[in-house]
Structure 1
Amino acid sequence: MREHIASTLQRARQRTIALTDSVDEAELVAQHSRLMSPLVWDLAHIGNQEELWLVRDAGGRDPVRADIDYLYDAFEHARPDRPHLPLLNPGEAREYVDTVREKVWDVLEHSPLQGDELVDGGFVFGMIAQHEQQHDETMLATHQLRAGPPVLSAAAPPVADSAVRGEVLIPAGEFTMGTSTDPWALDNERPAHPVHVPAFAIDAAPVSNGQYLEFIADGGYDRRELWSERGWEHRHEGELTAPGFWERDSAGQWWRRVFGVRRPVRPQQPVVHVCWFEAQAYATWAGKRLPTEAEWEKAARYDPDTGRTRTYPWGDTEPGPATANLGQRHLEPADIGAYPAGASAAGVHQLIGDVWEWTSSGFHPYPGFRAFPYREYSEVFFGGDYRVLRGGSFGTDPVACRGTFRNWDHPIRRQIFSGFRLARTLDPREA
């Protein structure tokens, strides 16, 4: 257990270092978008959360820098205001996170990892590893927003040997949603509870760039009847005419910017950088709808042959290069159909990795929810304007992605690595 915790923490830190060492100090302190924090704020915030939960709470050690807690409290300072705070400079931030991590190794060595809810099964260490990886994905999104020459590189994602098309019918019935047994699951994933889901159809793959180009060509961004009232308002306010980072040249060719590199839009890839309102408009155009959160999870986890609920679509083994595009192994989605070994028992592909998938559901607690270990992780966000996303993206680490993991964001957001797939309510004769 200790070795697993240590390697998971170290993997997160290596990624943090790579994302922050790849740019100079001027770019570290700059705000590349009002939607995002300066990278140096994320770096020190990662260290501060680690200090609060592992050094002070779990370890009972004296504070390293109690004087900076207020600077790195995400609830005290909105992202547009963070560049104006007296933040640690890059050198100070690096020294701070290194000092905290050295103390964490000592805490881990002496922690009993049992007998207290916070440390049972290494929960608090897993929580902090997930927190760092979540901020790493946020920093990756900041890199996508920054101007200037590319500084990140990775291998090209795999291509597909065969196409994945059509939809999969999911029969009506009850399945177990959420978890009560995963020791590192976060509070909003708990507890496991039975949910009856009526029969429905879900697309075997996420919506592709090629499919989305058809929506654009058919005037999808100009047809008021396809958009909700709020969506149409945002489409005009945001001047949306295509997914984020897309542009069309004078010859009509579509291009997309990928971490500073201009590339042709690949029809075979899942569409990425679309907001919930765009996904909803596309669904209306296609004569379908977005799946509910329960439908998405049933399609991902339920095995109709055995009646059991899996950890991942393919089973209970950890994600690997053959099953999912995760962990920043690649810097873009893989072609649809590139991970046949990652398909669910029902035959639905690429539910984990590649792109976060918007659902139609708002963010609400499960029956029996209990905030742990602090209200601000989930509870304060329940019932707001948020929509749930599922499945993770190419920028999500496996420690922060499983069949029960829930992400949420405002419906206007598309700087995140978000895409979607469609579902359909069955005609009674099909059910």
Structure 2
Amino acid sequence: MHKGKIIKFYRQKAKLTQEQLGYGICSNTHVSKIEQGKTDYSSEITLLFSKRLGIDVEEEFIRYKNIKRLLQCWHDSMIRQRDKEIETLKNKLEKEPLIKISDYQILYELLNARYHLLHQDLKPADKILKEIKKKYKHLPPYESNLLNHLSGIYYLSKKDIVKAFETLVSINIEDYKNEEYYLTLATAYLAAGSRVMAYYYAEKSLRSFINNNNVLKIIDAEMIMLITRESDGCRDFQLKVEEYEALLHTCDLCHAYEKKARVLHNLAYEFYNRNEYETAKRLYEQSMDLKEKKSSFYLTSLEGFIRSCLDGNLMAKKELEKLVYEGLSLAREMKEYIYSISFKLLLHLINHHHTEYFNYLITNALPYFKQSGYVSLLKQYEKELFHYYVKKDEKSKALELASKVLAD
């Protein structure tokens, strides 16, 4: 049957009718049955078709069967984040015309979306995923689960935690058998502020990555486990710092500088939470130095850097304002509205405009966080607003907000 599909593909490519292909070889009816896989035919006919089409049908058949292996290797290389291998396999697949008639065309389209997500190219990834959902109402189990997994990754990248969970929980792991899914689920739970569940799924994914010797994903899983683990007292915190430093060393050994930037950012946040602003500032700065300036990752660390300087009184007001305007400019250029909100809030804090700060929080920030599914940010700022109402002795508003938070 597959050979018939190959013969039909190259016949149409050569702009030949079935009658023209079969002329002097067999009837056009027989050609039709061969192309549909409904009849047996001799190797002599295969050879004659090959000569007329200017191909070797047997070699093309071997290439056809190799498509699945190439796609599996491409997916595996993306999971392992082997950049050179990813590009090599991508180029091979792009030059493979038989994908269009193979049983793996949908998988190829999905893996193209995965490639874009890996490079944070969200628009082309979203376009591919939407087209697949529109074109194919019923997908094979693996492709269906992969589609949901990639959609979950997309929504996480957009920080829409609600939609991320909606798609991720619909995955049937028995059909999917891709244990990287557990790491994505851990990331979603972390974003939602559920530390216990984030740790559970990160640990679950870690066992798989250790078995498969996937060092880069081991870093990701261990990083989530570190973030979610509580540290009581100085000794516990020092041990945690040592584990972060071990992860940084692993990143250096693997030349995984993007991951190193994230580890530095998370370590900076640990020190920020302990009010050790000098150290937090230094680590945020190191993280920013490793990041592409026009990226959401850079803006996140820039925000942390500014907060550390502001809370630790480590930088003059004018310098802080300059950094905030730099962040605002980048956020507008990148059309990252969430960061525009964050930097506007920082600007109010720097200028001690507390009334304006909370007005902007109530009228702009919180509605946007809720509408866009930014669960963790919503919780963080609602808690801040609650304390503001208590401090202002606005008990009814504080109770209303507290009831709302508990209901959510």
Q: TM-score range by the shorter chain?
A: under 0.3
Higher relative contact order (CA closer than 8 Å, sequence separation 6+): 1
TM-score (norm 2): 0.25
Q: Name whichever structure is richer in strand by fraction.
A: 1
Which structure's residues are more often helix, by fraction? 2
Structure whose CA Rg is larger = 2
